[in-house]
Structure 1
Amino acid sequence: MSRAFVKETEDVEDLPDRPISDLPNDVTAEGLRRIEEALAEAQAAQAAAQSAGDRAALAGARRDVRYWSARRATAAVIPEPADNSVVRLGHTVTIVREDDRRQTFRIVGEDEADPVRGTISHASPLARALFGKGAGEVVVIAGGEAEILEIR
């Protein structure tokens, strides 16, 4: 093949951006720290990929840097709630469902949510159903009901 038909540029084709939620980027202080860590890791991965000449890794790292930079720029740290009378972002809430199953979780920002670790996003239907409600109140969740037992 003639060299005339080979692209000689070092440009790396970027991957499509990761989707970013249209909701406000409300986060806890811990969530902001995690966003900053993820951004630093993505920047380090970008530098390493560039040094190694790894075009695929560079494209992925650049995409992550764009995502975490946007999330850092729009993050609004919501202070820990001082009042436990109603559910807000940052609260740990215990509910009991109709089948007597108890669940406890903390409501956090979208990027820090991890149900396996006991955290759910403020954008989740469960969190939205609980916001503004107090202990003893019953909410409709996923076609069933749940009572709020504790807010802390």
Structure 2
Amino acid sequence: MSKAFTKEVEGGDVYDDLPDRPVSPHNLVTPKGLEMIEAELARLHRDHAAALDADDRPLLAKINRDLRYWTSRRATAQVVEPPTDVSEVRFGSTVTIEREDGRRQTYRIVGEDEADPSLGTLSYVSPVAQAMMGKQVGDAIEAGNAEATIISIS
């Protein structure tokens, strides 16, 4: 076949097929987490319109990929209200632990997309959060390479 009848890839076409972001099967969210997902979707829709106006194909490809991810996360989100029973650690609990060296750390157990340990939130599927689940005040847990004790749950 003559090369005249084949389509050559144009420079911008390579951006059309960015691989999708991996979507976790775990998608419990707090009410605040759902608000965060919806805010991210709204921002991406605004950015999409601006990238269309600017004919910025690389940016459009990135935004489209992120829109697919966040649309999927919104569709599968299972909102869990904060627990009212603070007798044991559950999704949405705020837990303070004391490490062997005396350091106290407080974490709120949240969904994957809203977790940021530096801000005091842990994903409910993280090892430390999993070690806390179902435990009560006074129970010991594995926290990294050491033990810690749960000193409060709220």
Normalised to the residue count of structure 1, the TM-score between the two structures is 0.90
Match of 2:63 in 1: 61
Q: Tell me, in whole angstroms, the C-alpha distance in 2 between the residues paired with 1:148 and 1:5.
A: 64
In 2 relative to 1, CA 83–62 (structure 1 residues): closer, same or farther, beyond 3 Å? same
Would the alpha carbon gap of residues 137 and 5 (structure 1) be closer, same or farther in structure 2, given more than 3 Å must change?
Answer: closer
Amino acid at match of 1:82: T
Tell me the residue number matched to 2:132. 130
Describe how 1:72-87 pairs up with structure 2 within 5 A: 72-87=74-89
Q: Is it true that 1:19 corresponds to 2:53 in the alignment?
A: no
Deviation >6 Å, runs of 4+: none
Query: Which residue type is aligned with residue 113 of structure 1?
Result: A
Q: How many pairs align?
A: 148
Q: What secondary structure, in the 3-state scheme, does the structure 2 residue paired with 1:73 have?
A: helix
- How much does 1:118 deviate? 1.0
1:145 aligns to what SS in structure 2? strand
Between stretches 73-82 and 37-46, larger displacement belongs to 37-46
> Which letter maps to 1:135?
V
Measured in 1, the distance between the counterparts of 2:127 and 2:104 equals 18
Instruction: Work out the CA distance in 1 between the residues paired with 2:23 and 2:103.
Output: 34
Matches within 5 A, 1:3-152: 13-23=16-26, 25-152=27-154
CA distance in 1 between partners of 2:153 and 2:110 (Å):
14
SS at match of 1:134: coil
1:139 maps to a residue whose letter is I
Structure 1 residue 7, shift from structure 2 partner: 5.7
Letter in 2 for 1:81: P
For structure 2, the residue ranges without an aligned partner over 5 or more in a row are none
RMSD, matched Cα:
1.9
